């Protein structure tokens, strides 16, 4: 057999195993794993020099080219995916947003047009449903599925996106019926609004009061409510960007009861603290996200515990970049003194850049610090997202038949400790919240479908924008609805 490429001398890590073997690749697909695979002079050889090889990262929560709170995204599809590939992510799933009063499919098509032929990674979309009309539920969800969009995100907060509990139930029922995965942003809208008004009345408007307005309780209550709504209709749900210990405990408890509740956390909740929002001047605005960074160090311990013990299904960046400076070099948040007096927290767009750093941070802070195993890393970084969002086993693992999306790491003796610096990153944003953080390594080589796409020795992106492909997704292969008598409250099956 003639391979195009053989990757030799590596230890292949999957969510289940690690095996020292070669990887034989043909036409961008892994054909076989084996010892001493044969190759002739036409075959390209990559020597992994004894390092680990993990599947390309699947970042299932990124915002690219999406404008929020009136602020422009700092990334278009080229810069966002250029950042992704440089950090070992070979697949991204971003959001297409339905505007209230409008349909879903035109939004999906418009986002698709933005991304087409522009990306360095493979890509797909989730649809954000802000207006769950009968037409959406009956007609548009099937059209989305046909297009390859098999997941929706819904919000319990933000005036322009928020659904009430009844609407959440409608979406959950439609999702259960069609096999779609529902992602939920769980924060209590009324508490946030009430707190914000009260803070404003008292003149407490600096960036860190974003955190004051959204204490952990805001997340705890909405997470518990979302889980209850899921239980009423026996519908699977993924709670996105979980930041705190009580929310994690509710999720853990639901999982222990056998409910199909999945959850996601992000690098910033594992690694950054609320003090970041208190940086001098307006710098704290750089670390405003929702849910906010937490102050109690125990919150971060619980996030790492949940990553290690399986409470968290996926580890996503929630890359939601807006620039700190506008084109004229003025601070964005202070730019409009009428709309934004004194840099009012209410007007700071929520979200942090993180698509470049997600995988290196999980590798360095998780695996190399002994908090998680290499297998758990693969599960959180690639496999579970691929399974949950219908991309497995094309994506998310290293196996015959899977795309040859690979990240090659340095062996211990050759590791390269580095300091994260904005000037070294390939995303479009003008800052990183991890500036100055020391990490122990960065991917040495990243392959997309059998082709070298990023060289970590020179920190160079080598593939071209447009080489990424659109991924039409299938359905989740993680456990779905329980569907048994235990699932029905008081014996009532609302789907019959
Ligand atoms: N939700 C997200 O998913 N990302 C950024 C901000 C937000 O509220
Ligand atoms: Zn969200
Ligand atoms: Zn997000």
Q: How do residues 197-208 score in pLDDT, each as one tens digit?
A: 999 999 899 999
Q: Per residue in 350-378, pLDDT tens? A: 999 999 999 999 999 999 999 999 999 99
Residue 273 has pLDDT above 60, yes or no: yes
Q: How far is the CA of 289 from the centre of ligand 2 (A)?
A: 9
Q: How far is the CA of 414 from the centre of ligand 3 (A)?
A: 35
Q: Which atom of ligand 1 is nearest to the CA of 350?
A: 6
pLDDT tens for 98-154 read 999 999 999 999 999 999 999 999 999 999 999 999 999 999 999 999 999 999 999
Phi, psi (degrees; rounded to nearest 5) at 325: -105, 145
Which ligand 1 atom lies nearest to the CA of residue 95? 3
What ligand is nearest to the CA atom of residue 290? 1
> Which pLDDT score is estimated for 485?
86
Which ligand is nearest to the Cα of residue 349, counting in written order? 1
C-alpha of residue 208 to centroid of ligand 3, in Å: 20
Mutate to test the pocket of ligand 1, among 75, 159, 241 (most ligand atoms within 8 A of CB): 241
Instruction: Identify the band that residue 330 occupies on the pLDDT scale cut at 50, 70 and 90.
Output: confident
Q: Which atom of ligand 1 is nearest to the CA of 318?
A: 4
Angle at 368 between CA 365 and CA 372, to 5 degrees: 75
Q: Could you tell me the pLDDT band of residue 280, with boundaries at 50, 70 and 90?
A: confident
How high is the pLDDT of residue 195? 98
pLDDT band at residue 71 using 50, 70 and 90 as cut-offs = confident
> Any idea what DSSP says for residue 491?
G
| Rounded mean pLDDT, 249-261 | 98
Q: Whose CA is nearest to atom 5 of ligand 1?
A: 351
pTM value surpassing 0.90: yes
List ligand 1's pocket residues with C-beta within 6 A: 185, 240-241, 289-290, 318, 320, 350-351
Q: Rounded to an integer, what distance in angstroms lies between the CA atom of residue 79 and that of residue 81?
A: 6
Lowest model confidence (mean pLDDT) among 69-73, 383-387, 414-418: 69-73
Angle among Cα 47, 49, 50 to the nearest 5 degrees reads 125
Atom of ligand 1 nearest to the CA of 158: 8
Confidence (pLDDT) at 282: 85
Nearest ligand 1 atom to the CA of 240 is 3
Specify the pLDDT at position 72. Answer: 82
φ, ψ of residue 37 in degrees (nearest 5): -60, 140
| Centroid of ligand 3 to alpha carbon of 351 (angstroms) | 7
Closest Cα to atom 8, ligand 1: which residue? 290
Band (pLDDT 50/70/90 cuts) for residue 338 is low
Given a cut of 70, whether residue 259 has pLDDT beyond it is: yes
CA of 350 to the centre of ligand 1 (A): 6
| 3-state SS record for 18-49 | EEEEEEEEECCEEEEEECCCCCCCCCEEEECC
- Structure tokens that stand for 44 in this block: 């390209």
Banded model confidence at residue 450, pLDDT cuts 50, 70, 90? very high
Instruction: Give nearest CA residue, ligand 1 atom 3.
Output: 318
Ligand 3 geometric centre to CA of 181 (Å): 16
Average pLDDT on 378-394 reads: 98
Which residues sit opposite 447 in a β-bridge?
Answer: 406, 452
Taking 60 as the threshold, does the pLDDT of residue 69 lie above it? no
- What's the chain's average pLDDT? 95
CB atoms within 10 A of CB 179: 16
- Mean pLDDT over residues 19-32, rounded? 98
Distance CA 325, CA 344 (A): 16
Distance 211 CA to ligand 1 centre (A): 14
Q: Which residues surround ligand 3, an ion (CB under 5 A)?
A: 318
Ligand 1, closest atom to CA 351? Answer: 5
pLDDT of residue 342: 60
Per the listing, tokens 């290499």 go with: 374
Q: Which ligand is nearest to the CA of 73?
A: 1
Distance 20 CA to ligand 2 centre (A): 40
ipTM, two decimals, is 0.95
**Ligand 3 center to 341 CA (angstroms):** 26
Q: Which residues, 6+ apart, have CB-to-CB distance to 431 below 8 Å?
A: 286, 323, 324, 353, 422
How many Å lie between the centroid of ligand 3 and the Cα of residue 232? 26
Q: pLDDT confidence of 344, banded at 50, 70, 90?
A: confident
Within a 10 A sphere around the Cβ of 339, how many other Cβ atoms?
10
- Give the whole-number percent of the chain exceeding pLDDT 70: 96
Rounded mean pLDDT of 305-327? Answer: 94
Backbone angles phi, psi at 96, to 5 degrees: -115, 125
Q: Whose CA is nearest to atom 1 of ligand 1?
A: 290
Q: Which ligand is nearest to the CA of 352?
A: 1
* Between 160 and 329, the higher pLDDT residue: 160
Banded pLDDT at 306 (limits 50, 70, 90): very high
CA dihedral 348, 91, 406, 38 (to 10 degrees): -170
Query: What average pLDDT does this structure show over 57-62?
Result: 98
pLDDT tens digit string along 76-100?
Answer: 999 999 999 999 999 999 999 999 9
Q: Greater confidence, 484 or 453? A: 453
Q: Which atom of ligand 1 is nearest to the CA of 290?
A: 8
Give the nearest ligand 1 atom to 320 CA.
5
| Confidence check: pLDDT of 184 > 90 | yes
Q: What is the pLDDT of residue 332?
A: 64
Ligand 1 pocket test, candidate residues 320, 322, 345, 429, most atoms within 8 A of CB: 320
């Amino acid at each position: 057999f003639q391979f195009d490429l053989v990757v030799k001398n590596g230890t292949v890590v999957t969510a289940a195993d690690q095996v020292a073997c070669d990887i034989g690749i043909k036409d961008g697909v892994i054909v076989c794993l084996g010892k001493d695979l044969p190759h002739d002079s036409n075959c390209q050889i990559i020597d992994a020099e004894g390092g680990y090889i993990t599947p390309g990262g699947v970042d299932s929560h990124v915002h690219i080219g999406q404008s929020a709170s009136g602020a422009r995204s700092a990334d278009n599809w080229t810069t966002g995916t250029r950042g992704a590939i440089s950090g070992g992510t070979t697949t991204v799933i971003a959001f297409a947003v339905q505007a209230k009063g409008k349909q879903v499919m035109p939004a999906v098509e418009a986002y698709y047009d933005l991304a087409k032929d522009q990306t360095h990674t493979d890509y797909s979309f989730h649809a954000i449903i802000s207006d769950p009309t009968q037409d959406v539920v009956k007609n548009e969800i099937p059209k989305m599925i046909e297009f390859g969009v098999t997941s929706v995100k819904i919000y319990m907060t933000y005036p322009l996106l928020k659904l009430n509990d009844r609407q959440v139930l409608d979406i959950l029922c439609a999702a259960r019926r069609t096999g779609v995965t529902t992602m939920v942003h769980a924060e209590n809208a009324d508490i946030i609004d009430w707190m914000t008004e009260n803070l404003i009345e008292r003149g407490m408007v600096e960036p860190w009061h974003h955190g004051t307005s959204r204490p952990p309780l805001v997340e705890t209550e909405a997470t518990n409510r979302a889980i209850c709504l899921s239980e009423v209709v026996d519908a699977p749900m993924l709670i996105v960007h979980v930041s705190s210990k009580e929310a994690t405990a509710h999720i853990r408890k639901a999982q222990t009861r056998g409910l199909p509740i999945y959850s996601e956390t992000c690098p910033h909740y594992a690694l950054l603290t609320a003090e970041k929002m208190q940086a001098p001047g307006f710098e704290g605005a750089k670390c405003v996200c929702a849910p906010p960074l937490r102050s109690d160090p125990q919150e971060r311990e619980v996030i790492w515990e949940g990553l290690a013990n399986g409470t968290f299904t996926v580890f996503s960046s929630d890359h939601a970049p807006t620039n700190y400076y506008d084109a004229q070099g003025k601070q964005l948040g202070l730019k409009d003194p009428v709309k934004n007096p004194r840099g009012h927290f209410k007007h700071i767009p929520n979200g942090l850049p993180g698509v470049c750093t997600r995988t290196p941070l999980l590798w360095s802070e998780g695996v190399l610090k002994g908090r998680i195993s290499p297998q758990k890393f693969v599960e959180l970084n690639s496999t579970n997202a691929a399974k949950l969002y219908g991309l497995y086993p094309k994506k998310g693992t290293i196996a015959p038949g899977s795309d040859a999306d690979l990240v090659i790491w340095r062996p211990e003796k050759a590791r390269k400790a580095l300091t994260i610096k904005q000037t070294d990153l390939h995303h479009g944003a003008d800052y990183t919240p991890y500036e100055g953080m020391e990490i122990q390594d960065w991917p040495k080589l990243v392959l997309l479908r059998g082709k070298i796409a990023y060289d970590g020795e020179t920190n160079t992106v080598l593939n071209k924008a447009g080489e990424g492909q659109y991924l039409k997704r299938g359905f989740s292969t993680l456990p779905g609805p329980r569907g048994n008598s235990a699932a029905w409250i008081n014996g009532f099956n609302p789907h019959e």
